[in-house]
Every structure is written in structure tokens, then in C-alpha cells.
Structure 1
């Protein structure tokens, strides 16, 4: 699993897999007296890097902290596998906070790292995995959101300007379909998780408070003028017009990188973390990294593109760890010294960290970054609660796979009926929580 999801303070339907009684009081051990020593197990989702780049990290960290031995455990299905492990105390010393843990569960599973005010002096977006004023995770990198695309294909189709509306984006995909041999858009339906990336573009609305004033506060998030109606509506239209792969059930994530790199696929909506992977795929296939571009979501407010920035997965400490001091040292070292974020084309999790060269396209397009405001006090889990009660995996893939099926005629319904059903279920969930 060499992709990286943007991770927001929210819960997937998988939350039920985590038993709140699974963890008891913290175990005593090397971390209790502040000694940076012991055997450290770090769990990661980067199966592609664990035997290469991460071994370099191990060597550098152990050189700085010779009393620590670092061991890695990589999980292919991170969300699914870690949820099972977290029903025990044995889920490593350092792990990535899974999306299935709701904010009011953080203290049950993770060691607090410090107050929001204290941590915010050094790290970005600490509020994303905070609860009751305490921070529980530090981002491994910070992503922005948009679409990765093959510039040569778009140019071959005669497209010279970035699309500024969903309708213009559709026109551009139609031109690619007519003028080139490329698949205009690739859903990655079969792997599923890429469809979850569509939720990460809320910042395109240009309103840092959007999710606190809409979404969980709306009975109709799939209305035409609300974010999910705009974004999911665009996905529906792209599929319904046949501008995607012929059979979405046969898509393949690893293959898709080569397809986009070689120009067989023109466009995919993915976080900025994907840029370097697509560039590498282009070069591996004999092409050029310069063919890979990154465009903002096709929506403007007052003539300006906006793009949400959000932390990726967050490194956290198992509340049961015997080596909490070493675990904390790893988290800080990873953010401050490993170079992971920069090397992966991400924005640094450090407030004063370096900016990546990979986002030059955004700078040229005049994109303004939007850091979404944290939930208001007392509503930290509101949206996650509505997601759970509605059984709509807003941050996942299931309902968007259903959307694709309806759009391509493989399931009953149409755009209007599908969105009406989502709105009804969402409104009923909101009402049940308010009771």
C-alpha cells in the first residue's frame, strides 16, 4: 500500500471494529522515566518503502539514539489490519492514527503529545487529531488536493487553459476523448480507496469554516450548490458520459501510475502525495517526469482557485507502549529530520518547514491554500457521528462505488434519485443525533 490518504479527524464505518474496552492503563517501561531506549516497533502503511528508504531512517535514528533499536511493520490494508490489532494492546509503539478512531476515543488508544497551543508552535494542523485541547498525532506529511494529469495528453487535445468550472472540466475530458487515444479519467474503482480522495477537496469552496457551517449542519449536502453535490456530481457526470475506463471493476492502482505516466490515462483526482509516484512511473516507463502536472479542482471563488491543505496520516504513540520516550523521539525525528515530507513532494508538517518543488503548478495557477478550521467546541465528533448513524462512508469508497455503478448503468437509479437518497439518510441521521 504505497498510497497515503489524507486523514481528517473523522470516523469511517469501520469504527465498530474498535472496542473501547480493548486498552487498559498504560504499561510501565522504558518510556516512563524519560529514557530514550528500548526496542521500538513502528507500524507503517508504506509497504513500498519499508525495506529501502525506511532502513535509511532506521540507521540515522539509531545513530542519534544508540540505545534504541527500531523495527518496522508494514501493513498492506492498513485501516483493516490495524483496526483488528487495536482490539488488543499489541499495536506497536508508534502507529498511524486510523480514520476509524473517533476523536472522543483518542485517549483510549493513544498517548497525548501536548496541548494544541504548545504543539501548534512547531507543527501544522495539530488540531486534526486533537480532542479536549490535547494533541494525539503529528502528520507524516501535509498534502494539498487536486488532480494529477498528463500534460502532453491535455496539450494534444488542444487544451491551453486550466478548467475553472465542472462544466469546463467535462468539456476538456470530452476533447481528450475525441482528440487523443487516452482514457480521459481513471476512477481506480477496483482498489476503491482512490474514490475517497474526492472528499478531501472541500477547501475548493474557499471557506475555512465550511465543514463547521455546512455538511453536518445541512440536511442536503448533495444539493447542487453544496460541496458534495458539486464534487460527487462531477464524478457522476464523468462516468455517465463514458469518459472513464471501460470496465471500472478491472482497474489496478499500481498499473494506473504507469498508464498516467505514459499518457494512456489523462487524469486522476488524487492528493498531492501522488505527484512524485506518477513522475517516477513516467520515468520508469521511458517517459519524463515533466509530463506530469497537477491542477486544482475545477472550481473558483471570485476568480481564484482554492485548495485544501490537510495532514496525512498522523504518527501517534500506543498508550500501552513500554517505550514512550523513544516513541516520542521517533515522531519528532521523523517530522524534523527524516526529510520524508519533502522527498515525497509533500508540504512539511513543520510550521517553518521547506516547501516542495512539486507544487510549482499550483503557484503558477495562483492557488490559495485553505486550512480548514477545527470543529467548534462540543462538536468535535458531530460529523463523524452523523456519518456513522447515516451509514454513508463520507470519507471512504463504498457509496462512491455505488455512485459509479449507478452512473454507468450497472445499478438502478439516476443522479437525482441517488443524491436524494443520500440527503434523506443524512437528514434522518442528523435528526436522530439531535434527539
Structure 2
């Protein structure tokens, strides 16, 4: 999982939430992040095990040249979410770390130092409100992503496909054409690693409504109905597998290998955030193909004849509330967002309001995709969806129930799409009743 990126949801999976206890706060050994000049040794914890010894070493050299009184050490975690949740049951979780999805909005102040008001931070940074509570912002995105499907253009062209699919049914027809006309696996689930299945939830913006998650999802008793987002998206995933359009044995998938498979044309399509584009382009070149073979299409759903794609922050750098060098930690966070070039180099949208646009999203420009930034939950409702998720014990932003979905779809578990979605809707409705509006 070395190069995993996320579009963090509004909340937390039930299983992960149980791993955290409120032991991080209550002390303030480093004072405020605004106090004093940056100095001391800081530990920066990252999920980028693949580039921590290369690209990040360049960041260290450049940062320390600008801040000679600060020394930066890195710690890379392979299973970031799992390992950091355990670490956060102590005070020892670095000085700068990525806010895990297992932290609910009302827990942010327990574990992280506030960086300023949302209003102040939003003058410079995008999507600060995604990790905010009670008007305070706690993190700055390492990059900003949009959502869609990365695909091998040569394979799709070989299948005779000339237009982007605009509906789930058209997408299924296109995958069938790939199966009929090429030797490629039409769609790759990455079931075994699990986390890529969580990417399916990050496409809510395809509905074209910035308010969608505030008026639907947690506020609906039937989010898996045929005309609701999760019914549409999870329904498409189910149909892909049920129609035999994914890998033969999902239990043998491998994330790192999947990049080579798509880059070389052995796999045609995967649903992933825009962060994956550059990795697939590099994999294509490593396989002796061309980076130009890699395309990026919007989710196959239109509203009034237009594609829409959600824009959201990736993991957010934040300061451990227990850090003894908060000024230095803040200096790193600001430098990383403003000067490192990480977002641009990774093909992402800049976390800066006035930052440069990436070249990797040219396909979206050509398709006329309109970007949607989801409206945050209203005051007092920030943790509502997470409460429903936890009470229902459905990991909406994770992979467990989608792995179960794949198992049902491929006949490895009892049930069918209708019964599986009916059970999810019932558990969700019961959770809403228990939580209350």
C-alpha cells in the first residue's frame, strides 16, 4: 500500500474508530504553532514508502537550507491507517503526520494542534473545512484530487470504443467490448489489497450537487436505492463482477502489480483518484509502452448531459498536539504545501487557492467535466454521518463491505444484488433511527 492516496470522507469507519482513545490531548509541551522561531528536530510521518528515501530526501535538503535550525527525519508507514491508529493511543505519533480517516471531526482537537480558523486558512489553502471542527482548521492537504477511472487508451481503442460512456450501462457495454475484442482484463478490482475499493465512495460529486451528502446519504433511509449514489456506484461495481468483467480470482490481486498490468495493457480499467495517473504513466513507460497510453475518464454518469467530478483534499498534514516543536512542524506543513512541488509533481491539483493546474487532467478538460466541491456539513452536524456509519457498522469509506459485495457478485457468498443492498439499507435506516436527526 505504499502509494495509497485517499479522498477522505466526512467521517470514520466503525472498526477504525474503535482503535482510538482520547489520550492524545491535555498537554501542550510545545506551546502554540505560532510561538517562536522554527527550531529543533521534527519527525514527519508519511505513507509514501516508495519515495521517502528519494524524493523526500530532496525535500529535506531544500527545507533545511531554508530553516537551518530545524532537522527533519521521516518515518514511512506501509499500513498507514492501521499503524498510525495504534500509535495515536500514545503521545508518540511524530510531530507532523497525516490525519487518518479514523479521527472523527469532534476528535480533531484531541489529537491535533489547530492551525487557525477555517476562514483565515481558506484565504490560502483549498478544502480546509474537510478537517475542521467548530470553526478551527487542523490540516493542510498534501494535494487535491478529483475522481474518475484510469484506463489504457490503446486497449479501449482496440475494442472499437470511440466515445466516453455516459451511463453505467454504456460502461458495462464498453467493458464487454474489451472482453470480446482484446486479451485484456476489462476491469481490475484490487480486491486483495482492499483499500482501492474505498475509492468508489469518493465519486459522490458525479451527482452534480454540492449539497448531495447533506441532503442524501446519511439523511436517507435507502442510500443503496437504484437512484441514490451508493446504489448507482456500488451497483455498477456489482454488475462488473457479476458479468465476469473483472479478474478471474480477486483474492490474488496485487496493487503494485496492477500498475504494471494497466500500463502494459493487460488490464484495461481501474477506478482510482487522479493521484494514480502519474503512477500509471510511469508504469507504462517501465513496461516499454508510452505514458500517452494512459487516459482518465469521468465516472459514467451525467446530469443534464454533463459529467461532474468531485474535488477533494487528499491526506492532510497536521501537527501532533503533543509535539515539542510546533513552530518547526508548522513551518514544514506550510513549506510542503507552498514550495515542495509535491502536488504538481504527483499530477494533483494544488492545495493552494492560487496554485498551478496539473497537466494530467487534460482528458477531463476535453470531456467538459465540471468539478464539484462538496459543501461541508452544517454547524452541529459535522459528525452526524460518522455516527450513522459507526452505528450501522458499515465501513462506508473503507473496503470491507465492498469486498463482501464482490464476493456475493462472483458467487463466493450467498445472496444477490437486491438482497445485499436491502440488508445495507435496513442497517442504515436502523442506525439513523438510533442516532436521530
* TM-score range normalised by the length of the shorter chain: over 0.9
C-alpha change, 1:62 and 1:87, in structure 2 (3 Å) is same
* Corresponding residue to 2:202 among 196, 200, 216: 200
* CA distance in 2: counterparts of 1:30 and 1:105, whole angstroms: 19
* CA distance in 2: counterparts of 1:286 and 1:49, whole angstroms: 22
The answer to whether the aligner puts 1:352 opposite 2:354 as a matched pair is: yes
Can you list the C-alpha shifts for 1:197-234, whole angstroms capped at 9, x where unaligned?
A: 00000000000000000001000000000000000000
Contact 2:221–2:432 under 8 Å retained in 1: yes
State the SS of the aligned residue for 1:184. coil
* Structure 1 residue 35 displacement after superposition: 1.9
Stretches of structure 2 lacking an aligned partner (at least 5 in a row)? none
C-alpha change, 1:306 and 1:32, in structure 2 (3 Å) is closer
Q: How does 1:378-417 map to 2 (within 5 A)?
A: 378-417=380-419
- What corresponds to 2:5 in structure 1? 4
- What corresponds to 2:115 in structure 1? 113
- What corresponds to 2:320 in structure 1? 318
* Structure 1 residue 23 displacement after superposition: 3.2
* CA distance in 2: counterparts of 1:22 and 1:87, whole angstroms: 7
- What corresponds to 1:288 in structure 2? 290
- What corresponds to 2:45 in structure 1? 43
* CA distance in 1: counterparts of 2:104 and 2:252, whole angstroms: 33
- What corresponds to 1:253 in structure 2? 255
Contact 1:183–1:264 under 8 Å retained in 2: yes
- What corresponds to 2:136 in structure 1? 134
* Structure 1 residue 352 displacement after superposition: 0.4
* CA distance in 2: counterparts of 1:427 and 1:110, whole angstroms: 33
* CA distance in 1: counterparts of 2:177 and 2:284, whole angstroms: 23
> How large is the Cα RMSD of the aligned pairs?
1.0
- What corresponds to 1:174 in structure 2? 176
* Structure 1 residue 2 displacement after superposition: 1.1
* CA distance in 1: counterparts of 2:382 and 2:412, whole angstroms: 37
- What corresponds to 1:216 in structure 2? 218
Instruction: Normalising by structure 2, report the TM-score.
Output: 0.98
- What corresponds to 1:77 in structure 2? 79
* CA distance in 2: counterparts of 1:45 and 1:68, whole angstroms: 22
Stretches of structure 1 lacking an aligned partner (at least 5 in a row)? none
* CA distance in 2: counterparts of 1:358 and 1:3, whole angstroms: 18
* Structure 1 residue 29 displacement after superposition: 6.4
State the SS of the aligned residue for 2:18. helix
Q: How many residues align?
A: 435
- What corresponds to 1:268 in structure 2? 270
The answer to whether the aligner puts 1:336 opposite 2:343 as a matched pair is: no
State the SS of the aligned residue for 1:306. strand
Find runs of 4+ consecutive structure 1 residues off by over 3 angstroms. 28-33
State the SS of the aligned residue for 2:27. coil
* CA distance in 2: counterparts of 1:428 and 1:173, whole angstroms: 37
- What corresponds to 1:58 in structure 2? 60
* CA distance in 2: counterparts of 1:125 and 1:65, whole angstroms: 27
Can you list the C-alpha shifts for 1:312-351, whole angstroms capped at 9, x where unaligned?
A: 0000000000000000000000000000000000000000
Contact 1:31–1:322 under 8 Å retained in 2: no
* Structure 1 residue 22 displacement after superposition: 4.1
* CA distance in 2: counterparts of 1:28 and 1:386, whole angstroms: 36
* Structure 1 residue 139 displacement after superposition: 0.2
* Corresponding residue to 1:146 among 136, 142, 148: 148
State the SS of the aligned residue for 1:95. strand
- What corresponds to 1:155 in structure 2? 157
* CA distance in 1: counterparts of 2:232 and 2:111, whole angstroms: 36
* CA distance in 2: counterparts of 1:221 and 1:29, whole angstroms: 44
* Corresponding residue to 1:373 among 375, 378, 381: 375
* Corresponding residue to 1:430 among 402, 420, 432: 432
Greater Cα offset, 339-348 or 1-10:
1-10
Can you list the C-alpha shifts for 1:53-109, whole angstroms capped at 9, x where unaligned?
A: 000000000000000000000000000000000000000000000000000000000
* CA distance in 2: counterparts of 1:262 and 1:3, whole angstroms: 21
- What corresponds to 1:24 in structure 2? 26
Instruction: Normalising by structure 1, report the TM-score.
Output: 0.99
